[in-house]
Structure 1
Amino acid sequence: MPNRADIAWFKACFAQRINAAIAGTPFSLDFMVALACQETGEVWTVLRRDRLGEDNILALCVGDSIDGRADGGGRSAFPRNKAELMAAPDGAAMFVIARKALVDMAARVESYRGAAAKPDKFCRGFGMFQRDLQFYKKDAPYFLQQRYARFDATLDHALRELKHKQGRIGFGGREELSVLEMVAVAIAYNTGRYDPRRGLKQGYKPPNGKYYGEALFDFLRLAETVGVADAPALIDLARPGQAIVPPPSPVTATGPFMRVDTRVSTLLLRREPRKSQPRRESVVGELPDGHLVRALTGRAINGFMAVETSLAGALLRGFASMSYLKPAPGETAIEIAPPAITSGVRAARLPRKRGRLTRRADPADAHSLNEVGQPGRKGADVDALRAELGDIIAWLDVEKKSHKRYQPRAKQTFCNIYCHDYCHLAGVYLPRVWWSAPALMALGRGEDVAPLIGDTVNELRANDLFRWLRDFGHGFGWRQTGTLTKLQLAANQGAVAVIIARRKDADRSGHIVMVVPETETHMAKRDSNGEVTAPLQSQSGVTNFRYGNSQPGWWNKELFAENAFWIHA
């Protein structure tokens, strides 16, 4: 299937023509590249390596063979078999074209040779973006004249069909679509329908393969890392062992700038222009005193202003009380980039005695795991990364009673330790211990500080980790994201993702959970609009589970003072 080099070739050949064609549509270049990868990537990647010219490549972008079945089963759309095609007007001529296309393509693409060896098989998909032969009766000349072999013709058909499916699934008239909404249109392009509650697990799914929606999204993210002269890359390429994660979303509001002015606490950002009961139920974010926001319209509703801002990389949009906002007329932009780490601060790790093992089977201590054969995250593509995170979950196995490191005891729970272990194995720094205040000052002065438990470093609980992520996480690759949908999407791409909530009672622990990639048997919960309401989580706590999603919104319970969603590539 297509890799970055294949996508670079495709963009070099077709980006200018695609950009001209998609002007005025809500579809992006990278989306169209992903569609071509998904529809015919297994063909044109082989053909372009054989150094065929563009005309030959386009003519051979065919596939999805058909043959007759004696029991009448199989394909239900026209043509179900050779006999049905032959009975149509000019059907014999079409069979010759469709049969020759299969034979010629199979001569170069090995996976189709078995089909080509059967004389009644023929192609049903034509063109780089694949138009199905079921449309033959409506538009026979397209197929008989082989218009699909011209890039402008196959692209034009694809865009017309995408616009039709855009309207069919409720996005008609929209001038802009999010990445997920574009993929939803592609799923309808493939199947004729889209169910928001199923996320990307929709569309055709080959045996032991991914759903059409999942595969197309993976291609889209990969395409976004590939730039050509007229189309720069949108996302930096991830190193092996890290996921492709898009940069923080920019603030798009155009109203007046305002600054949070509370003098006593953070300012709650709400889904609706009113207080909720319970108090935190509608909270979508908390803004520090002095934080800069921008109004969407500049008109207050019930004493609340609709605002947008960026906080530690998270795009937040909601309603804030006008009582705690003041005009900031001199401002011109909201900073998106996270702050840099304080100079001299390095990761804190507790050294161990030579030869000592820290194991899952032992009660928790302040060291990181170092068992022989423990898994890691080293993959160079999204499929490998997802599989490796699944291996980490299975290996840690918080549900296994003999893994005493995670089992609750004496009113103690170990969510912090499980999340540390998951991140440690995934190659991401989430501290088990951190520097004391005097040690941080010494490090800031450039002094060498030894990690000594109870002196220069201390163990961190969930409440401490909340503050660490806020104050130091950016310097170690962490950033916030604003919605559960984006959080789950990052996890599904093989990124490390957490939800963390700080407890109001400082003497009691907060909570932290991993948000993990969805699987065939374990999925996030989504509402009727496709937004994630309960991501797929893995945790140690009062209850330990490898996978679960049964407590939507636990982080907004009244016992917590604040919460955040964090991701790390």
Structure 2
Amino acid sequence: MKPRDAIAWFKTTFGDTLEEAVAGTPFSVDMLAAIAYQETGYIWSVLVDKQLSLQKVLELCVGDTIDAPGRSEFPTSKAQLVAAPRGQEMFRIARQALVDMAQYIPSYTKVVRNPDKFCHGYGIFQYDLQFFKDDPAFFLEKKWCDIAACIGKLLVELREAMRRQCLANKSALSDTEKVYVAIAYNKGRAKPALGFKQGYKSDDGRYYGENVFEYLRIAQTIGVGAPAKLVATSALTRAPLPPPTPVEATDDVYEVDVRGSTLRLRSEPRIDKRDPRANVIAELPAGQMVVRISGKKADEFFEVETSLNGAHFRGFAAAEYLRPVKVPKAIPVVAPAAVAPTAGIVAVYMPREAGMITRRADSAGPYSLNEPGQPQRDAESAAERCAQLAAIIDWLAVDKPAHKRYQPTGGGTTFCNAYTHDYCFLANVYLPRVWWTPGAIEQLAKGETVEPLYGKTIDEQRANDLFRWLRDFGPRFGWRQTGTLTKLQEAANLGGIGIIVAQRKIDGKSGHIVAVVPETDDQKAKRDSDGSVTGALQSQAGVTNFRYRATPTQWWKGDQFADSAFWIHA
């Protein structure tokens, strides 16, 4: 059973019980589903496939046979367990649980041969035997066979994990905070500055936090119903990125009223005279609708909320450039298309002659790569997708002098556009190397057939062009904007595609575009003490070419750039 199917089974089977349990808590059904799959999904997905009864499935959700020195909590050995009150009775139960479960789970075949081995984790969320002395009834009476009892124990432990993370007073948790609480549930405490690479490390190199985040995102795409169904019918190989955040409808709606420029949305209600762009989080175009959150008529700034190309923003905008909307409307939220268009304005590539090969060693041109054996991204799990993206980065080898396609010229020409296109192309994501001319677009929109002819109906796309293309056409091809570096890096860490693009003030000057790529054990993003990403992990061609680099410097806010944006694609 694949992760999506297993998580769908879990949510459908226990949905009502889960909903009732999490009501009024900071937790969610999806969070519990993610933890359940991380803890014992490898067991119950097999048992469900074997069509065992639900009661038997729950009974066999046991595991963790690690003793000292790998374990420090009670019991570290059979002898320590047997020495405890009713310990011999507990050992018989724990030993038999292992024997019964190992009949179905091959990974326990070897360990079960050792007569001193027994299970330490019980129930679908793996309530640990370290609590036996204080709560013997749960184990001796096999209460782990009751899903409600398991959920109850989990919620108590999650509350304790929240306390250890200094989140005890919060009535709601962000998805990022939920993952840190899950890590604390697994290992005692999470350090947000380290990101999600924390907790138990599985054989495939993925950490507990990374897996929980992936499963949380998968769970969020699955609606509870009969039968279970995916909310978005995306391909299995697509990264499980979250849908755009909606903006709550109110009667306090305003419209951006500017001429010849955009309205800057700021993280604070002030302008730094030394660096006016320092706290800018978005550039709002004329006509953009926003909801006022706070602020009075005489205030210099209103606190507002809006959605821009699928990105959720909340910040402060100059009140003098906001005009009340007489008939309030809902703020439109752009959702990326699940499937690229097959008619009308469709994807286009530079036509090539039969047998022509475009190589990394060639100088940059309008053609996409088609070398034999080039890697691609087509895996179903985040771990595999991230590994494939790492392989793409290493294969492109943007810093290798022999790869002339990406090397800057003596005249100052750089090829960030070609490199980012190649990265996306090999990842099976469309970011154009060439695109239709305005006249061709007009014909295509009418349903006419247009032949791609270089210089006549298609042109090469530079970084400035790609900024506009993403804004105008990106959502049709699965792209959407996101509002923070943290969300951008999280999307990349799921094996999705992330980019940062900046448009120059002077159109004839070069803009810039970079890929934001998955973190590895050796290459990591920069984070502050709260876990917010301050420097995304980037890969680029430019004046300096590099495969990986993370820096807190926000280059896209430089004076030479008019606007910038973060974009993600599944």
1:28-72, Cα deviation, whole Å (9 max, x unpaired): 1111111111111122122222322222222221111144x6xxx
**Could you say if the C-alpha distance between residues 429 and 206 of structure 1 is closer, same or farther in structure 2, counting changes exceeding 3 Å?**
closer
Q: Shift of residue 243 of structure 1?
A: 2.0
**Could you say if the C-alpha distance between residues 545 and 539 of structure 1 is closer, same or farther in structure 2, counting changes exceeding 3 Å?**
same
8 Å CA contact 2:480, 2:568 repeated in 1 = yes
Q: Distance in 1 between matches of 2:99 and 2:329?
A: 62
1:413-424 matches, cutoff 5 A: 413-424=414-425
Return the match for 1:224 from 199, 220, 233.
220
8 Å CA contact 2:206, 2:383 repeated in 1 = no
**Could you say if the C-alpha distance between residues 383 and 546 of structure 1 is closer, same or farther in structure 2, counting changes exceeding 3 Å?**
same
Q: Shift of residue 511 of structure 1?
A: 0.4
Q: Distance in 2 between matches of 1:207 and 1:101?
A: 24
Q: Is it true that 1:545 corresponds to 2:542 in the alignment? A: no
**Letter in structure 2 aligned against 1:282:** N
Structure 1 match to 2:48: 48
Structure 2 match to 1:156: 152
Q: Shift of residue 550 of structure 1?
A: 2.3
Q: Is it true that 1:24 corresponds to 2:20 in the alignment? A: no
8 Å CA contact 1:255, 1:295 repeated in 2 = no
Q: Shift of residue 278 of structure 1?
A: 1.1
Q: Distance in 2 between matches of 1:347 and 1:447?
A: 15
Q: Is it true that 1:102 corresponds to 2:103 in the alignment? A: no
Structure 2 match to 1:238: 234
**Letter in structure 1 aligned against 2:118:** F
Q: Shift of residue 233 of structure 1?
A: 5.8
Q: Distance in 2 between matches of 1:91 and 1:201?
A: 36
Q: Shift of residue 198 of structure 1?
A: 1.2
8 Å CA contact 1:15, 1:231 repeated in 2 = no
8 Å CA contact 2:375, 2:388 repeated in 1 = yes
Deviation larger for 326-335 or 532-541: 326-335
Q: Shift of residue 350 of structure 1?
A: 1.9
Q: Is it true that 1:488 corresponds to 2:489 in the alignment? A: yes
**Letter in structure 2 aligned against 1:459:** E
Give TM-score scaled by structure 2 length. Answer: 0.94
Q: Is it true that 1:305 corresponds to 2:302 in the alignment? A: yes
Structure 2 match to 1:361: 361
8 Å CA contact 2:255, 2:287 repeated in 1 = yes
8 Å CA contact 1:274, 1:302 repeated in 2 = no
Q: Shift of residue 240 of structure 1?
A: 4.4
Q: Shift of residue 332 of structure 1?
A: 3.1
**Could you say if the C-alpha distance between residues 296 and 114 of structure 1 is closer, same or farther in structure 2, counting changes exceeding 3 Å?**
same
Q: Secondary structure at the match of 1:296?
A: strand
1:327-476 matches, cutoff 5 A: 327-337=324-334, 344-410=344-410, 411-476=412-477
Give the aligned CA root-mean-square deviation in angstroms: 2.1
1:463-521, Cα deviation, whole Å (9 max, x unpaired): 11111111222222211111111111111122221100011122210100011111121
Q: Shift of residue 328 of structure 1?
A: 1.3
Return the match for 1:89 from 75, 82, 85.
85
**Letter in structure 2 aligned against 1:118:** N
Q: Distance in 1 between matches of 2:501 and 2:330?
A: 29
Q: Is it true that 1:282 corresponds to 2:282 in the alignment? A: no
Structure 2 match to 1:173: 169
**Could you say if the C-alpha distance between residues 515 and 240 of structure 1 is closer, same or farther in structure 2, counting changes exceeding 3 Å?**
same
**Could you say if the C-alpha distance between residues 440 and 51 of structure 1 is closer, same or farther in structure 2, counting changes exceeding 3 Å?**
closer
Deviation larger for 442-451 or 7-16: 442-451
**Could you say if the C-alpha distance between residues 502 and 404 of structure 1 is closer, same or farther in structure 2, counting changes exceeding 3 Å?**
same
1:504-543 matches, cutoff 5 A: 504-543=505-544
1:197-244, Cα deviation, whole Å (9 max, x unpaired): 111111111344311111112222222233332797674142144322
Q: Shift of residue 256 of structure 1?
A: 1.4
8 Å CA contact 2:30, 2:220 repeated in 1 = yes
**Could you say if the C-alpha distance between residues 159 and 507 of structure 1 is closer, same or farther in structure 2, counting changes exceeding 3 Å?**
same
Q: Shift of residue 311 of structure 1?
A: 0.7
Q: Shift of residue 255 of structure 1?
A: 6.8
Q: Distance in 2 between matches of 1:47 and 1:470?
A: 47
8 Å CA contact 1:253, 1:296 repeated in 2 = no
Q: Is it true that 1:316 corresponds to 2:313 in the alignment? A: yes
Q: Is it true that 1:556 corresponds to 2:534 in the alignment? A: no
1:233-280, Cα deviation, whole Å (9 max, x unpaired): 674142144322221111137571111111231000001000023111
Deviation larger for 247-256 or 140-149: 247-256
Q: Distance in 2 between matches of 1:540 and 1:237?
A: 35
Q: Distance in 1 between matches of 2:147 and 2:342?
A: 53
8 Å CA contact 1:235, 1:244 repeated in 2 = no
Q: Shift of residue 125 of structure 1?
A: 0.8
Q: Distance in 1 between matches of 2:26 and 2:552?
A: 36
Q: Shift of residue 448 of structure 1?
A: 3.1
8 Å CA contact 2:499, 2:515 repeated in 1 = yes
Q: Distance in 2 between matches of 1:567 and 1:347?
A: 18
8 Å CA contact 1:358, 1:371 repeated in 2 = yes
**Letter in structure 2 aligned against 1:145:** E
Q: Distance in 2 between matches of 1:112 and 1:300?
A: 68
Q: Is it true that 1:119 corresponds to 2:115 in the alignment? A: yes
Q: Secondary structure at the match of 2:43?
A: helix
- Give ranges in structure 2 of 5+ residues lacking alignment: none
1:304-332, Cα deviation, whole Å (9 max, x unpaired): 11100001111111110111111114113
Q: Secondary structure at the match of 1:548?
A: strand
Q: Secondary structure at the match of 2:39?
A: helix
Structure 2 match to 1:129: 125
Deviation larger for 353-362 or 253-262: 253-262
Q: Secondary structure at the match of 1:479?
A: strand
Q: Secondary structure at the match of 2:19?
A: helix
Deviation larger for 524-533 or 53-62: 53-62
Q: Distance in 1 between matches of 2:132 and 2:250?
A: 49
8 Å CA contact 1:47, 1:108 repeated in 2 = yes
Q: Is it true that 1:80 corresponds to 2:80 in the alignment? A: no
Q: Distance in 1 between matches of 2:104 and 2:518?
A: 36
- Give ranges in structure 1 of 5+ residues lacking alignment: none
Deviation larger for 286-295 or 75-84: 75-84
Structure 1 match to 2:187: 191
**Letter in structure 1 aligned against 2:142:** Q
8 Å CA contact 1:502, 1:510 repeated in 2 = yes
Structure 1 match to 2:207: 211
8 Å CA contact 1:235, 1:247 repeated in 2 = no
**Could you say if the C-alpha distance between residues 446 and 65 of structure 1 is closer, same or farther in structure 2, counting changes exceeding 3 Å?**
closer
8 Å CA contact 1:271, 1:319 repeated in 2 = yes
**Could you say if the C-alpha distance between residues 2 and 436 of structure 1 is closer, same or farther in structure 2, counting changes exceeding 3 Å?**
closer
**Could you say if the C-alpha distance between residues 450 and 56 of structure 1 is closer, same or farther in structure 2, counting changes exceeding 3 Å?**
closer
Q: Distance in 2 between matches of 1:32 and 1:438?
A: 52
8 Å CA contact 1:266, 1:286 repeated in 2 = yes
Return the match for 2:269 from 247, 261, 273.
273
Q: Distance in 1 between matches of 2:11 and 2:74?
A: 34
Q: Secondary structure at the match of 2:503?
A: strand
Structure 2 match to 1:261: 257
**Letter in structure 1 aligned against 2:269:** P
Q: Distance in 2 between matches of 1:174 and 1:135?
A: 27
Percent sequence identity over matched residues? 52
1:169-212, Cα deviation, whole Å (9 max, x unpaired): 12213222122211111111111101111111111113443111
**Letter in structure 1 aligned against 2:104:** R
Q: Secondary structure at the match of 2:524?
A: coil
**Letter in structure 2 aligned against 1:527:** D
**Letter in structure 2 aligned against 1:129:** F
Q: Distance in 1 between matches of 2:336 and 2:16?
A: 37
Q: Distance in 1 between matches of 2:126 and 2:447?
A: 62
